Structure 1
Amino acid sequence: MRLARALLAACGLLASTAVPAQQPGRTVYESVCIACHAVENVMVSAPKLGARKEWQERMQRAGGLDGLVRNAAKGVGAMPARGGQADLDDAQLKAAIRYMMQAD
């Protein structure tokens, strides 16, 4: 039974449990954004996970959420374009930004 589950999971055929709406953003955060946006990272001036006030200020300066996505896509300050992960699309960037803005 374990072998069958492992094979199905490896093929992407095993149905997973309910995935929270923010899961795609969390996945991108944990695989890319965490390097600079983690709360523990005090060496980088990037807004941190869950720092709502700082994210809101940045969003106002950027002209809204779409402005933050544009900044993330092209890179801003020390942040490389798309966080250094060229294959991230705008929807993934937006999901990650939303996750970082709302996470506690």
Structure 2
Amino acid sequence: MIKTKHISSGDWRTLESFWNAKGIAFFKSPPGAQIKVRYGYGWLGFDRQKQTLDGFDYKKLDVGLGSLGYARMQIKVAQTTDVTYDVYGDGVARLSPEIKF
């Protein structure tokens, strides 16, 4: 499902949350934005799959077994902007977005 969210600049912002669930998302822009998966809570949490978007290639975040607790897909942008991404839940296996955006 393609989603667009208005993201404020600054610290990490949560786009999707998972509790005992799997999910995949694809991102392409804005260039320079950073994405990651954060597992756990507070200082007990840890980051995985940290990537920087280039505006050309799709980047994939995959929430797997680590979400048996709590996991979030997060983004950090330099300027307030709209972010469009393609997200799938329930552990759907995908290698690329269903619809190119």
TM category, shorter: under 0.3
- Structure with the bigger RCO (C-alpha within 8 Å, sep 6+) is 2
> What is the TM-score normalised by the length of structure 1?
0.27
Larger radius of gyration: 1
The structure with more strand, counted as a fraction of residues: 2
The structure with more helix, counted as a fraction of residues: 1
